[in-house]
Structure 1
Amino acid sequence: MSKVHSKFNFASKNEKPDSLLIFCLYACFVIFLTACSSDSQSFPEGFVQFYPKLEAWENRDEGFTLICVSSADGAQGFLEWEANGIYGRIVEAGASKDGRFYSIGDGGMNGLALEAKKNGKSLEISYEPMLQNAYVFQGGSNKHKISVDRSKAIEDLRLLAGLFEETQESGRKISMRLQYLVSRKAFEEKAFDDFLRRGNSPYKMAEFRRMRLEASPLAKYELPEDSGNSDSELPKDFSKEDSSSRVQYWLPPIEYYEIQYPIYISENIISVATQYYLFNGGAHGSASTDLDIIDRKTGRRLEVGDIFLEDWRSGLGPKLKAELLRQSRYWKDSGSSAKVQNEKNSSIEDLRELGFFESDIYPSDKIFLCKTGIGFEYDRYELAPWYMGEFIILLPWDELKPFLNPAFFADGQILGSI
């Protein structure tokens, strides 16, 4: 038997292994575990990864919370200001002459724009009601102002995003934007994977989405020979059957967006929205939103039955309708929907006068929790034509209390005061 060099003879009673060797062995072990891990810690090949900015501001005295996720190609988030009765989805954010601005649209008081100025570690938020709606507020169109501080509830949260573009052999173009909410806490990250991503990590989900899009059937639209379109008028993505044929086809690009962002964050609860959009030809794409409520203490997803009594739907319809009518006063460029009265100068009671499909409204199962109360989300076409967008209707806790499951309360507080 050959003699082992004393430097590596760890069994020798009087000798100790070299510290550098221990470090090297440990490093190799870590690399091995990483290589064997089922989850790659980066987006699949072809994706450009980036990290959108997540910010959250609050003023508890006035029931104000503002959550915004922003990047070079857009913004998402949610605003609620209970003292002034305004709320809505953040659809745009950016630099303004005096600081920053946030615009609300597609669910809530559409058209409102808020200005923000830095004031030390705080922000001073203000907005001025639109002239057509100035009568809603006592005192006319004076600015409403509030000082807000950063929320500590987002300390362990961040957004992970990736962009993907590809041109297939057929000539079809694929573009995809994915954005996922992640946590530095392993316990919470597992809950996000389980409930927000069907048990997948963001990276596995990105691989799944890419494979699905690449394998999707090819949509091919024949352009009539007698359409009268010149080559310069044809869609950019078209092909010819062969060099001798005048038959031309349009290969519409595939555009897919899966955008995840928090609507409300507290120490106990997080409400998360995931917006989906798919275009594969036609007048416009299809859009929808999923909502999830996660108990941050237990890692459990809250269902409608956890929050409401069994017969909760029967009494909420009139309340939702009344709030939608109040909300309509704020809508920008909405024609008659900016009025609280119809042409006969009587109060509007039929929602069809505002462009909705039905005269009344029924509770949606898509809900989220926030400081003010519970929000109900309606996708495009659920209540009104596509161009009117999605709708979010927020009802305060006081109005909801008779419909809530008593187990939802603990010592008079709603889930530990939300």
Structure 2
Amino acid sequence: MPLWPHAPGWEVVEALEWATSVQEAESDAQRIAARALPFRTLSAAFRFALPGSALPLPSLAEAEALLREIGAGPVDLPLWPESVAVGDLAAGAVSAAFDTAHGSWQVGERAALRARRDRAVSASPPISAVRPDGLDFAAPLTEAIPDAIAAPVRAGRLASAAEGAATPGVVDLNIGFQVVGGPLVPAPAAATLDGLDIFDGPVLAARQSPLAFDRPARVTAGPAGPVVAEALRDWHEARGEILTLDAGAAARWARRGWLHARRGRQVAFWAPSLRPGLTLAAPLSAGAAAVTLPTPPEPDQLVGRGIRLSEGGAVVHRRLGAWAPAGAGVVAYAIAAPGAAFTAAAAVSELRIHRLDTDRVELLHRGLDLTELACAIVERPA
């Protein structure tokens, strides 16, 4: 199987796509998974030198020949979004030392190795052992690789036509590859509330969609009778978007694991509300059975919601129960004892139950260190 040896430019788009069949119901919806693992596609721009160019780049002719050879068949594809820096590798080296916990490293597969300054793979030795602190190669390296970058290799195939635009001496080809198979990335450890994971950032932005509320209806009409509109559920959905930025291999791997655990539009989670935050109306003791909040416009709307209390390193998540007036302009909601005391100045966030609002999510990887995710979400009933 040929290897795609070319390294992408600064940005790589990784798309994960599930398939969920959603059946509407009055109080919620049934979600049926049609795919155990997501389709995974990697898209990036690859730069090649045009004939006659003196630039130190792979030639376009070589790339075209390889693309013709691949055709619709399989190709060994370096997973560049899982790349890690492994330092200098000497000629004859039979191992590389780095943390292997945050990548798809597997015995029998290959490791793509290249110098950081190069745009092509220098070596792709088979992996004979995967240790927590490094890899062992089945054969020694035939040449030294300074300031090496390593990426796991998986079978893939072309997912799109190679298209691009030429500038003097170079051409940038935009190519998409689909990764064939691949392991289920384990979910990262996360706090939970009533059995659901709590999404706790880091969040750069959370915004509500301009047309955020939706309550679908089924409209029927007889040949000569009146039109009948019947609501399919008894609540309005509020849609929005969160934008996250993760730095480093560990955070990038954890974000991918979190997405795998969501399984597209299937698994719900707690997340900060897209609405303005809350404040405490009075201090909260460690054994308190109720939390006092300024009276909201509709106190019943907070019943069943969650809150996140944080102050001085203490972080507590609780669900709000029945409420009762507690004085002028304040109400008290029943909660389980927080186990820690908080002053009235503590940071308070409202938590609501959400799901992803799409089966396709895209991770934008910038270099080795940064990953951006813009994710559509939708609230579900508490």
**TM-score using structure 1 length:** 0.22
Higher strand share: 2
Higher relative contact order, chain-length normalized (CA < 8 Å, sep 6+): 2
**TM-score using structure 2 length:** 0.24
Higher helix share: 1
